[in-house]
Amino acid sequence: MDFSGKQVVVTGGTGALGNAVVGALLQAGAQCIVPYIVEAEAQRFVHRGKVKLIEVPDLADEASVDLVYEDATPWASIHIAGGFAMGKVADTDKAALTAQLDTNLISCFLCCRAAVRAMRGGGRIVNIAARPALEWRSGAGMAAYTVAKTGVAALTLALAEEVAKDGILVNAVAPSIMDTPANRGAMPKADFTAWPKVEEVAATILFLASADNKVTRGAIVPVYGKA
Asked if pLDDT for residue 85 goes beyond 90, the answer is yes
Residues 90-107, mean pLDDT to the nearest whole number:
98
Report yes or no on 146 lying in a domain. Answer: yes
Give the helix/strand (H/E) hosting 126: strand 123-128
| The one-letter amino acid at 7 | Q
Residue range 111-168, pLDDT digits in tens = 999 999 999 899 999 999 999 999 999 999 999 999 999 999 999 999 999 999 999 9
Report yes or no on 159 lying in a domain. Answer: yes
> Are residues 85 and 100 in contact, defined by beta-carbon separation less than 8 angstroms?
yes
69 is catalytic: no
C-alpha distances (whole Å) from 35 to each of 9, 107, 131, 164, 196 are: 8, 12, 25, 26, 25
Report yes or no on 186 lying in a domain. Answer: yes
Interhelix angle 107-118/62-69, rounded to 10 degrees, is 40
> Are residues 83 and 103 in contact, defined by beta-carbon separation less than 8 angstroms?
yes
Report pLDDT for 90.
Answer: 98
The CATH number covering residue 37 comes to 3.40.50.720
Report pLDDT for 173.
Answer: 98
> Are residues 134 and 222 in contact, defined by beta-carbon separation less than 8 angstroms?
yes
Residue range 22-79, pLDDT digits in tens = 999 999 999 999 999 999 999 999 999 999 999 999 999 999 999 999 999 999 999 9
**Number of domains composing the chain:** 1
- DSSP structural state of residue 116: H
Phi/psi of residue 226, nearest 5 degrees: -100, 5
Average pLDDT score over the chain = 96
DSSP 144-189: HHHHHHHHHHHHHHHHHHHHGGGTEEEEEEEE-S-B-HHHHHH-TT
Report yes or no on 1 lying in a domain. Answer: no
Report yes or no on 171 lying in a domain. Answer: yes
Identify the three-state secondary structure at position 9.
strand
Report yes or no on 101 lying in a domain. Answer: yes
Report yes or no on 190 lying in a domain. Answer: yes
Report yes or no on 150 lying in a domain. Answer: yes
Least confident residue range of 6-10, 47-51, 185-189: 185-189
Report pLDDT for 52.
Answer: 97
Q: Which of 36, 69, 145, 224 is catalytic?
A: 145
Residues 181-204, mean pLDDT to the nearest whole number:
92
What is the span of the domain harbouring residue 177? 7-223
Q: What is the 3-state secondary structure (H, E, C) of 42-77?
A: HHHCCCCCCCEEEECCCCCCHHHHHHHHCCCCCCEE
- pLDDT band at residue 227 under the 50/70/90 scheme: confident
